[in-house]
Amino acid sequence: MTKEIIPRKTIYRLSQYHRILQRLQSNDVPTVSSENLAKTAGVKSPQLRKDLAYFGQMGTRGLGYNVDALVSRLDQVLGTTRLQPVALIGVGDLGSALLKYQGFAREGFEIVVGFDLAPNHRHHQGPMPVLPMGDLAREITERQIKMAILTVPATHAQEVTNQLVSAGIQAILNFAPIILQVPDQVVVNNVDLALELENLSYFIR
């Protein structure tokens, strides 16, 4: 069962479950039923059970899921067992805001280095170095950083992406409103803010 192909949407939901379970954990809840967990995550309970069952037996019939055990297993599956270093490219308004965003640290990610065309004084606020683009390849390769957040203008996004890929980046969270061309082994998730608004506006009657 561990060798099936897992739907991408399932992986998304696993991350959701993971976060909710962490909350339950810090509230010392020992056990949760699929019914309960599913409701909080906004899905139906068979969906949740099927999602979890991709990774083998996870719960106990009659009882539910052990919260601690499930969190560990999901940590393992999602690869969030240890702090993951992340590079941020493009330290403008949005990039700066993401640097300060606490949500990342809470989920086990740390932005360890930033890159910008023109690093300047306003970048020297925190402990994180902001380096010029010229240092990108060396720094990412040497530190073996695998994930990048891309907050550069759309016009530069593809070019920077090519550099990231050469440097060994394997996953990109892309805020530029274009479809990036990457080799198969590199994953891209797009966050397109204007698209989300435009999509919402359809539903306003």
94 interface partner picked from a second copy, DNA, none, CB below 5 to 8 A per type: a second copy
Instruction: Find the shortest distance in angstroms from Cβ 130 to a second copy.
Output: 16
Query: Which residue number, 4 or 28, has a Cβ lying nearer to DNA?
Result: 4
Going by their DSSP bridges, the two strands 65-66 and 31-32 should be labelled as antiparallel
Q: Which is nearer to a second copy, 26 or 61 (CB)?
A: 26
| Cβ count within 10 A of residue 118 | 9
In sequence order, what are the residues at sequence separation of 6 or more whose Cβ sits closer than 8 angstroms to the Cβ of residue 148? Answer: 86, 87, 88, 89, 140, 164, 169, 171, 172, 173
CA distance 114 to 128: 7
- Enumerate the β-bridge partners of residue 87: 113, 148
- Our finding on whether 163 is near DNA (CB under 7 A) is no
40 sits in which H/E element: helix 34-41
Closest CA to 96 of 149, 160, 30: 149
Residue ranges of E strands in the chain: 31-32, 65-66, 84-89, 109-116, 130-132, 147-150, 171-174, 187-190
Binding residues for DNA restricted to 55-94, rule: CB under 7 A: 57-65
Q: Which stretch binds a second copy (CB under 8 A): 10-18, 51-59, 115-123, 127-135?
A: 10-18
Q: Which of residues 161-200 bind a second copy (CB under 8 A)?
A: 170-173, 177, 179, 187, 189, 191, 193-200
Q: Does residue number 47 form part of the binding site for DNA (CB under 7 A)?
A: yes
Binder of a second copy out of 104, 119, 135, 137 (CB under 8 A) = 104
| Stretch of residues binding DNA (CB under 7 A), selected from 44-52, 82-90, 96-104, 187-195 | 44-52
Our finding on whether 30 is near DNA (CB under 7 A) is no
**Binding residues vs DNA (CB under 7 A):** 1, 7-10, 33-35, 43-47, 49-50, 52-53, 57-65
